[in-house]
Amino acid sequence: MIEQPSIINLDALRATPLNNSPFPFLVIGNFLRAEYADAIGADFPSIPFRGSVPLTQVQYGETFARLVGELNSAALRVAIEEKFALSLD
């Protein structure tokens, strides 16, 4: 099985300077790799109403599912912990 490149660009997160005013935050350019933009958009769930919707209540495609998995990954958690010098456990 061939492993696909990550959708999330952790190197961009690591390279982005931390802003501390008025609170610690990041603005990360190219956080999501551009080559996945169309596929994520095509796979995004159709939600015909406003509000917060659990992912278990909507249908979505494979690339969007991969994105959700990466957003919930240990690798992203560790990168955020390192950048903000905190524990998310």
Q: What percent of the chain has pLDDT over 90?
A: 91
- Has residue 2 got a pLDDT over 90? no
Distance (Å, whole) CA 39 – CA 27:
23
Distance (Å, whole) CA 18 – CA 28:
10
* pLDDT score of 4: 81
pTM of this prediction exceeds 0.85:
yes
- Has residue 1 got a pLDDT over 80? no
Distance (Å, whole) CA 32 – CA 53:
22
Residue 75 zone, left/alpha/beta (φ > 0; ψ -120 to 50; rest):
alpha
What's the pLDDT tens digit per position in 12-27?
999 999 999 999 999 9
For Cα atoms 53, 72, 34, give the angle at the middle one, nearest 5 degrees.
Answer: 90
What's the pLDDT tens digit per position in 34-59?
999 999 999 999 998 999 999 999 99
- Per DSSP, the chain holds a count of helices (H) and strands (E) of 4, 0
